[in-house]
Structure 1
Amino acid sequence: MPRQIFRLKISLAGVRPPVWRRVLVPGGYTLDRLHRVVQHAMGWRDCHLHSFDIEGRQYGEPDPDGELALHDELDVRLDAVVGKGSRFHYTYDFGDWWEHDLVVEDAFTADPDERYPSCVGGERACPPEDVGGPVGYQTLLAALADPGHPEHRSMRDWVGEGFDPAGFDAGRAGTLLRRFC
């Protein structure tokens, strides 16, 4: 039976200008593998908790203390809970609260000559970890854009000279996806 591939658009909610990725993912992936796809495609470092919200059900790593009522993401295949046209959410870092909107734009048969998952598009760099969520990121962007801003130098030092908020390399993201997902 040929493999089904989902074309997903992942958009970071509450951030302007938009930060998004378009990825091709096997429908047979479990949600924990989709978690890794989102992490590597976006540019996160996977150092915080996460969850998926699909039609009101929460999925993630089960909490051994039982405080978070999450269904085990290892037990759920993507194609069992979504299909073409589905919309769902992924939240990363319960402190900074990064919400991602995911849309299944298309579903098609895998090309036997292609390797999946892959990143086929996107815009703008992922915000740095621990920047303070969308509000903190907007503050960072404003400080970086204005050399006269009182926090310009400290923010530039914190984020590093190499950080370019407009930068995104789909080829690099695709390489990371194939290597780690």
Structure 2
Amino acid sequence: MPKKKKTFENVYQFKITLQEIRPPIWRRIQVPETYSIWDFHVAIQDAMGWTDSHLHEFQMKDPKSHAEVEIGFPSEFAPGILLSWETAMADFFAINNPRAVYTYDFGDDWRHMVILEKILPKEPGIRYPRCIKGKRACPPEDIGGVWGYEEYLEKLRNPDARDEDDEYCDFDFDPEHFSCAEVVFDDPEERLKQSGILDSLCID
């Protein structure tokens, strides 16, 4: 894993919106320009409220070749994928190349539209990354994707629709709740070490 620069002058402001859900679930975050794609992934997970317990990938256009690329983890199904921790965020996201689709949990298939809105000078005394705005709670993990979440919301509204298979579901969940003040960003390097990914791939 390459050493990253700790100092930075600018921050990238992104809006991340979970697709196919209305009203929308979204976050606006600012991250250092020196981030890798892995670091950015961790910031998205923490801002959205996911637990980072499933695989993920980014799909976007390479600004140099204009080819569609995938960034995440290597596998037999994606042999040409770029390693997220070796890929600089600033090499792919630019004002003229602002969009990516970020997919989390290939079973539930949570797709997020990621849009780079601005590149700004960092503000003195501000700790980055930070979440500056957002709406609505992240769905529970392993709920069954968009359709499973819609069914879950119906059961929240209508207790009579619940059955014995739902006894372990959290029906105290508030789908409208979100507060930037409650977002805690993890250290992405520590997250990568704890994940064991580098050990399994024999990468230092």
Fold equivalence (TM over 0.5): yes
1:180 aligned residue: 187
Helix, strand or coil at the partner of 2:159: coil
- Percent identity of equivalent pairs: 34
Report the CA distance between 1:82 and its aligned residue. Answer: 0.8
Q: How many residues align?
A: 174
Residue by residue over 1:111-147, the C-alpha shift from the partner in whole angstroms, topping out at 9 and shown as x without a partner, is 1311100000101110001100011101111111123
Distance 2:164 2:156 in 1: 8
Shift of 1:153: 7.7
> Which residue does 2:178 correspond to in 1?
168
Q: Could you say what secondary structure the match of 2:153 adopts? A: helix
Tell me if 1:88 matches 2:89: no
| Deviations, residues 60-110 of structure 1 (Å, cap 9, x unaligned) | 0222xx332311111111111011361111000000000000111111111
Q: 2 CA distance for matches of 1:163 and 1:153?
A: 18
What are structure 1's unaligned runs of at least 5 residues? none
Superposition map of 1:31-180 within 5 A: 31-55=37-61, 56-63=68-75, 66-69=76-79, 70-84=81-95, 86-148=98-160, 150-151=161-162, 155=166, 157-173=167-183, 176-177=184-185, 179-180=186-187
| 1:9–1:105 Cα contact (<8 Å) kept | yes
- Contact 2:156-2:171 at 8 Å conserved across structures: no
> Structure 1 residues 78-87 or 40-49, which shifts more?
78-87
Letter in 1 for 2:37: L
Q: Is the 1:6–1:84 Cα contact (8 Å) retained in structure 2?
A: no
Q: CA deviation at 1:159?
A: 3.1
More displaced 10-residue stretch of structure 1: 66-75 or 10-19: 66-75
What displacement does 1:163 show?
1.4
C-alpha separation in 2, matches of 1:62 and 1:32: 13
Shift of 1:15: 1.0
> What amino acid maps onto 1:151 in structure 2?
R
